[in-house]
Chain A
Amino acid sequence: MTRSIAANIRGLTLAIATTFLVTSVGVGYWTLVAGDELGNDPFNPRLVAAIRDRPRGFIKDSAGNTLAESVQTPDGYKRVYRDKTLAQVTGYASFQFGASGVEAAYAESLIGQDPGDPLSQWRARYLRERAPPGSIVLGIDPKVQKAAVDALGGRRGAIVAIDPRNGAILASASWPQYDASLISDPATEDAAWKQVTADPDKPLINRVTQGLYPPGSTFKIITGAAALESGVDPNAKVRVDDPWQADKSWGSYFVRSSSRAHGDYTMADGYRLSENIYFAKIGLQIGGPKLAEYAQRFGIGSSTHCDITAAKGQLSTAGVLDRPTLVADTAYGQGELLVSPLQMALVAAAVGMGGVMPTPHYATEVRDAELHAIRVIAPGPIGQVIRPETARTLTTMLVGAVSGPGAFAFAAKIPGVNVAGKTGSAENPSGAPHGWFVGFAPAEAPTVAVAILLENSPRGGEDAAPLGGRVMQAALGK
């Protein structure tokens, strides 16, 4: 006998009800789960409307100066930026092109839905209630920022100063700049966008956090740390004869000394005279895996945990150091290394702080509409990357690199203050070497760490060192 139609009807109804349930779950996913991501999609017209129809909060520096604010126009609100030197930091908030920098990273806080205020977030998300916009206070110190911009003096490059004790970014200059107000104004946004995106110097990039460069000799800080913690005696003499190769298998490849050196070097001599061959030799002595481990400890190739978009850098194209020549080249900062100026400032900060690397952050506070603090942004340190005694030994040698006899980085000296630092000249495919300086001061209890990068600077690190001195001097108030 055939199954009764009634049984079939029940079966079909069950299938329909099940499909309704599945469909409801699908709808629930898009409305409740995917809401955040899609709501912040730069091309969501609702986000555009939120920019246009309601004011966003202020972005202020640590002295209370307004860096960004919303101005009412007949068609709604537009963002105006008061400090062009911070264009890449504040970013832009455009109807058409979305948002970047702090405008993007703290988009929720700026429209009154700070994650630190779960109730207002919940109300906005589920009840569609809108709190008044919040404001963001940055750690940027206008005096240090001005010193950094003046030091850069219109050269392509980046300068960052960071408080090593808490990771607050005190100055962040990236050149060339652009006018974020033009990108955030509907009347000018198209032309301005076309212009900045067509510029071969890529002004939209924040060179501090997103610029990637070979670190050159500044990387020797990491090589030295790895050597010290692998039991290398810093006072042992190492023979340096320019040019050098480990064995005949390197063929025509040699490590070159920048001073054509012949002699016996201690580690302190290696830093003071920035001797490539010394570091290539101890790099090979401790081996590729050890060197790679310390690069990773110092955050090369991983997130800086910075609050705005930042690059990770790379140890090598493959992520490992598997050839002797690559180990040697990496040990003195070339090879396939790529780092951002912020990452190198963090390396300096970690050495200065006895091995504790801080978490970098541009914003220090989120405030509500009445400028009362909602939330203090004080991320704990990233971690202890090297032992305190290693950091102390390195610090002594880095002070020597600035103020020892014949020191390469002498130009970073500040009267009355012990400065620790290291220069670097990074060979690169785009022309003259990039000039680096990283350092911190006062060496015994630092309150500022800097990284200077000058793109294609004729004298490399020699050009960068004095800028580091000036920026640190401004930060120390001397």
Chain B
Amino acid sequence: MIAVTRRRPELGLLFWVAALGITGSVAVAAAEVAGFRPQQLVIPVTFVVIAFALHVFLAARGVRGDQLLLPIAAALTAIGLVLVQRLASNLLVQQLSWTLIAAGAFAGTILIPRDLTALSRFKWTWALLGVLLLISPLLPVIGREVNGARIWLGVGTVTFEPWEAVKILLVIFFAAYLEEFREVLAQTQRRFGPIPVPPVPYLVPIVAMWAIAMVVMVFERDLGATLLFLGIFLAMLYLATGEAFYTLIGLALLLVGGFVAYHVFAHVAARVDIWLHPFAEDVRFGIGYQLVQGLFALANGGLFGAGLGNGMPDRIPVVWSDFVFDAFTEEVGFAGAIALLSLYLLFVYRGMLIALRAPTPFLQLLAAGLSFIVALQTLVIVGANARLIPLTGITLPFVAYGGSSLVTNWMLVALLIRVSDVTARTRGTP
């Protein structure tokens, strides 16, 4: 029988999250023309109930893992709900429903894989499933094209981005595969000049996955998925082998691929042109309009922001998915933006700490890979919002509007907590 654990720090932090969610929601409502109405509290309160329910669930299950990840993820989700209320209030109930589903997925992930290490035994299953999901949007009937990218599955009015689930499957597959073959890959005897040449047969599955990423780029026109896929691939390879050359070659491939794509694909060229010259006359009123409006929002942020509900981030097209960071920064300022980035960094730091302490290479690679997903997504979208890199269509984890992303990110949190739980049980520390 599982003993109930006391998760005091987690409980304490969740009260702060509750305060954040409720004051944020009230502040946004108060800034609207209609003013605040008590019935609007239903949504933040429902969220708070979900968050506490998850805590109770973990405690009741006797989970001994990390106690910071749940409050951080809940805080980010709360910020996301406040921003959906601010920017697209018609989507708020939908986003709350997705939060509920995400909580369910979180609980399921805590419950179902009884033995995490067993995940590694089915690595080829995960790989196959991942590939199927990846190419599924190309299939007729269920595949949907949205905003020029064919990356959606749709049944009726419900749409799902299969890529979101693929990223977790990928990390599991890579972790398992690399655990098995990392010695072989790293301790290569042959070198071509300074370049290590790994035994070719072991590279085949990896290269195959890479080729499939290219398929995503060419046929589904999803830059974000491609970038994330390659990023995960390179990071996992580095984590397993410590061979910086793989990373450098990977980055070089990315640059070459990007250069070729710039000249071959109009949608890639457009993204790069927007990034390089957003203020050019023919760009700012056309394809660059979104980025320019995003930069205006950032510029209006100042140190402490315009105040929730007092900026004009609604002028940015599709702000609730692509430019939610700029919208947030406009209203809470540079100080708020740094606070948000700190939350993400703290999340990644905890995830990496879990990875460091994990008892087996598989669990180490798994936890580090999952944490890396959050880091990469955050950096890629915030970097794009701040015009440091071109926009690729990755969304801000937990915060941006979107169901599939929220559900898979919460499953990711559950997996990290599970890894830390295994560590705690193995080592006997709480």
Is B379 a contact of A30 with CB atoms below 8 Å? no
User: Contacts A24-B338, A49-B312 given: A2-B298 contact, CB under 8 Å?
Assistant: no
Q: A32 to B299, alpha carbons, bound, how many Å?
A: 7
Whether A39 is near chain B, meaning CB under 8 Å from some CB there, is yes
Whether A41 is near chain B, meaning CB under 8 Å from some CB there, is yes
Whether B355 is near chain A, meaning CB under 8 Å from some CB there, is yes
Is B242 a contact of A45 with CB atoms below 8 Å? no
Is B334 a contact of A32 with CB atoms below 8 Å? yes
Is B303 a contact of A31 with CB atoms below 8 Å? yes
Is A31 a contact of B334 with CB atoms below 8 Å? yes
Is B379 a contact of A2 with CB atoms below 8 Å? no
Interface centre among B304, B345, B361, B386 (most CB of A within 10 A): B386
Is B303 a contact of A126 with CB atoms below 8 Å? yes
Is B296 a contact of A23 with CB atoms below 8 Å? no
User: Contacts A22-B388, A38-B299, A39-B299 given: A31-B333 contact, CB under 8 Å?
Assistant: yes
Whether A128 is near chain B, meaning CB under 8 Å from some CB there, is yes
Is A27 a contact of B364 with CB atoms below 8 Å? no
Is B364 a contact of A5 with CB atoms below 8 Å? yes
Q: A127 to B213, alpha carbons, bound, how many Å?
A: 46
Q: A49 to B382, alpha carbons, bound, how many Å?
A: 27
Whether B368 is near chain A, meaning CB under 8 Å from some CB there, is yes
Q: A26 to B385, alpha carbons, bound, how many Å?
A: 10
Residues of B in contact, count (CB < 8 Å): 53
A residues 1-36 near B (Cβ < 8 Å) are 2-13, 16-17, 19-20, 22-24, 26-32, 34-35
- CB neighbours of B424 from chain A (8 A): none
- CB neighbours of A30 from chain B (8 A): 295, 298-299, 301, 386-387
Is A9 a contact of B355 with CB atoms below 8 Å? yes
CB closest chain-B residue, reference A36:
B299
Partner of B365, one of A3, A4, A5, A35: A5
Whether A125 is near chain B, meaning CB under 8 Å from some CB there, is yes
- CB neighbours of A49 from chain B (8 A): 312
Is B329 a contact of A13 with CB atoms below 8 Å? no
Q: A2 to B361, alpha carbons, bound, how many Å?
A: 13
Whether A253 is near chain B, meaning CB under 8 Å from some CB there, is no
Whether B307 is near chain A, meaning CB under 8 Å from some CB there, is yes
Whether B20 is near chain A, meaning CB under 8 Å from some CB there, is no
Residues of A in contact, count (CB < 8 Å): 41
Contact residues of A: prevailing secondary structure: helix
User: Contacts A12-B235, A16-B348 given: A27-B386 contact, CB under 8 Å?
Assistant: yes
Is B235 a contact of A35 with CB atoms below 8 Å? no
- CB neighbours of A9 from chain B (8 A): 239, 352, 355-356, 364, 368
Q: A7 to B298, alpha carbons, bound, how many Å?
A: 37
B residues 340-390 near A (Cβ < 8 Å) are 341, 344-345, 348-349, 352, 355-356, 361, 364-365, 368, 372, 375, 379, 382-383, 386-388
Is A35 a contact of B364 with CB atoms below 8 Å? no
Whether A46 is near chain B, meaning CB under 8 Å from some CB there, is yes
Whether A428 is near chain B, meaning CB under 8 Å from some CB there, is no
Partner of A2, one of B187, B305, B383: B187
User: Contacts A12-B372, A31-B301, A31-B334 given: A24-B341 contact, CB under 8 Å?
Assistant: yes
A53-81 CB contact bits vs B (8 Å, 1 = yes)? 00000000000000000000000000000
Whether B404 is near chain A, meaning CB under 8 Å from some CB there, is no
List the interface of chain A (C-beta within 8 A of B).
2-13, 16-17, 19-20, 22-24, 26-32, 34-35, 37-39, 41, 43-46, 49, 125-128
24 contacts between A and B (CB under 8 A): A2-B182, A3-B186, A5-B361, A5-B368, A8-B238, A8-B239, A8-B241, A9-B356, A13-B348, A16-B348, A16-B379, A19-B375, A20-B345, A22-B388, A26-B387, A27-B334, A27-B337, A31-B301, A31-B303, A32-B334, A35-B299, A38-B299, A46-B300, A46-B312
